[in-house]
Amino acid sequence: MARVTIVAHEQVRTRMAAPAIRYVEMARALAARGHMVTLAVHNDPEVDLGPVRQLHDESQETTAAMQRSDIVIIGGGPYPETAANCPPPDVARVADMTFPLLLEGLAMHRVDPAGWSQPRLDAFTTMMSNRLLAADVILCGSAQQRHFYLGWLAALGRLNAQLIDRDAAADQLVRIVPFGCPSTAPRNTGHGPRRTIRGIGADDYLLIWSGHVTDWYDPGTVVEAVMAAAHDIERIRLVFIGADVRDERLGRTPTGARLRTDAERLDPRGDHIFFWNDWVPYEQRADWLLESDAAVIASPRTLEADLAVRARFLDYVWCALPLITTAGGTFADAVQQAGLGVVVEPGDVRSMTQAITHLASGGVRQRMRERLDSLRPEHEWDQALRPLFDFCESPALAPDRGEWMPDPTHEPPKRRVSPAQVIVRRVASRLRDAAGRVA
């Protein structure tokens, strides 16, 4: 069995963001298969993970653990590699690129240009490029993401003859490892919204927005649709989880502030729109989902929406909770094709209202729940992580390893420029020259 260190680049607490959830479940699953697993996190350990050893990712112990490892998995969180948590060159590296930080940053730049300036976006590009260059295996969350990263790898020069001679379709280099859900059935322990939030009754039609109100979402369309539906469905209720999370990375967002203003304007008495400011503890999330009638989530039309893997969607599969969502991305396609809910166009308040009204029928929701129940086994973590399990059983360095070993704590190497990079630079230079002549 292998000695595996996972550098999450995330905080692991009782309340966790999606990347932290992924690495907790990954660590648990690898440990259950007999591997010796260390999870390096961006905070002092506070969650009991049984046989999984936890360390702070800036500690000397983390450096020592990586030096003894057979495999180091570099997580997709936003904290960059440092000298303390950069793997030694002779250890097999797995880069988990399921969270495309650049696309998240671009989506937030649209709403908050000052907070998400071009230099900050450039830093994400550099960090992601370094992880792609240094990896022996790259994990992504969907087929769409795989195509995205193959294009990036081609531009970086990693789709080269040396690699393709051994891996013709790059299947060994770029592997799809989607989000998963637990194999154990969800259980309500009595801490859900109907018992926690005053104003939500046992017989109300309850919609839930789980997760966070970040700038790549569109909660305003949902609020408008709920208030429109309330003309016919008096007992409709919508609760936002994570409405004011004090997360050090995301924190309060302009979208979250605008959501509060919209809710106060459209629902001044607070009869229909409710807020739960913090994330729900990870181990209690089933309480909230099992007490809800449907989940709802909306995004504008962006690159992030097309390529993101929404971790919470797998919780909806786990709890057999019908979903109303906007078009775009892998899971929206699955919802539409398998009849797991209703998909509407981004920003379409009328269609969102119709979808909400449609799911007010208990019979409609029950048929969707039955379909979701049947899908659960194929989405369990043990199935989702199988390509990673295969690599951990027989780790190997990439055939082009000697060519691409940047120091992830610095800029990408400048000693070799791929043909694609040359073309991009020439085009950019000509565009700048043309713009100067026009000016």
In a domain, 109, yes or no: yes
In a domain, 185, yes or no: no
Assess whether 85 and 220 both reside in one domain: no
In a domain, 188, yes or no: no
- How many domains does one find in the chain? 2
Which residue did the predictor score with more confidence, 407 or 335?
335
Assess whether 102 and 230 both reside in one domain: no
Assess whether 216 and 360 both reside in one domain: yes
Q: What is the pLDDT of residues 227-256, one digit of tens each?
A: 999 999 999 999 999 877 665 555 678 888
Does residue 63 surpass a pLDDT of 80? yes
Assess whether 240 and 159 both reside in one domain: no
User: Over pLDDT 70: what percentage of the chain?
Assistant: 89
Q: What pLDDT score was predicted for residue 408?
A: 53
In a domain, 149, yes or no: yes
Across 428-433, average pLDDT:
50
Assess whether 332 and 347 both reside in one domain: yes
CATH number at residue 22: 3.40.50
Q: Could you tell me the two tokens for 250? A: 């995301």
On whether the CB atoms of residues 84 and 72 are closer than 8 A, the answer is: no
For the sheet containing 341-344, what is the strand order? 273-276, 236-241, 205-209, 294-297, 323-326, 341-344
Distance between CA atoms of 280 and 206, rounded to whole angstroms? 17
- Amino acid identity, residue 412? P
CATH number at residue 352: 3.40.50.2000
Q: What pLDDT score was predicted for residue 209?
A: 95
Assess whether 304 and 422 both reside in one domain: no
Q: What pLDDT score was predicted for residue 425?
A: 53
Assess whether 314 and 202 both reside in one domain: yes
- Cβ density class 401-415: b for 16+ within 10 Å, e for less: beebebebeeebeee
Assess whether 397 and 312 both reside in one domain: no
Does residue 148 surpass a pLDDT of 60? yes
How sure is the predictor about 119, in pLDDT bands with cuts at 50, 70 and 90? very high
Q: What is the pLDDT of residues 332-379, one digit of tens each?
A: 999 999 999 999 999 999 999 999 999 999 999 999 999 999 999 999
CA 378 to mean position of chain CA atoms: 19
Does residue 15 surpass a pLDDT of 80? yes
Any alpha helices (H) in 267-361, and if so which ranges?
285-290, 303-307, 311-318, 330-338, 349-358
Assess whether 221 and 127 both reside in one domain: no
On whether the CB atoms of residues 229 and 357 are closer than 8 A, the answer is: yes
Using alpha carbons only, what angle is made at residue 20 by residues 17 and 23, rounded to the nearest 5 degrees? 150
Distance between CA atoms of 185 and 362, rounded to whole angstroms? 22
Distance between CA atoms of 243 and 260, rounded to whole angstroms? 9
For the sheet containing 71-74, what is the strand order? 53-56, 36-41, 3-7, 71-74, 92-96, 137-140, 174-176
Distance between CA atoms of 237 and 3, rounded to whole angstroms? 48
In a domain, 355, yes or no: yes
- Amino acid identity, residue 3? R
Distance between CA atoms of 351 and 173, rounded to whole angstroms? 41
- Amino acid identity, residue 271? D
Q: Could you tell me the two tokens for 66? A: 């990586």
Domain-ending residue, one of 332, 358, 378: 378
Q: What is the pLDDT of residues 297-338, one digit of tens each?
A: 999 999 999 999 988 999 999 999 999 999 988 889 999 999
In a domain, 165, yes or no: yes
On whether the CB atoms of residues 320 and 289 are closer than 8 A, the answer is: no
- Amino acid identity, residue 338? A
Assess whether 205 and 328 both reside in one domain: yes
H or E segment and range at residue 393: helix 386-393
Q: What pLDDT score was predicted for residue 415?
A: 40
Q: Could you tell me the two tokens for 33? A: 């298969």
**Alpha carbon separation from 315 to 3, 24, 379 (Å, rounded):** 30, 15, 10
Assess whether 112 and 132 both reside in one domain: yes
H or E segment and range at residue 236: strand 236-241
In a domain, 290, yes or no: yes
In a domain, 249, yes or no: yes
Quickly count: other Cβ atoms within 10 Å of residue 34's Cβ. Answer: 11
Assess whether 330 and 222 both reside in one domain: yes
Q: Is the pTM of this model over 0.85?
A: yes
Domain-ending residue, one of 378, 396, 426: 378
The boundaries of the domain holding residue 318 are 193-378
How sure is the predictor about 213, in pLDDT bands with cuts at 50, 70 and 90? confident
How sure is the predictor about 407, in pLDDT bands with cuts at 50, 70 and 90? low
Domain-ending residue, one of 358, 378, 398: 378
- Amino acid identity, residue 319? C
Q: Could you tell me the two tokens for 184? A: 């154990």
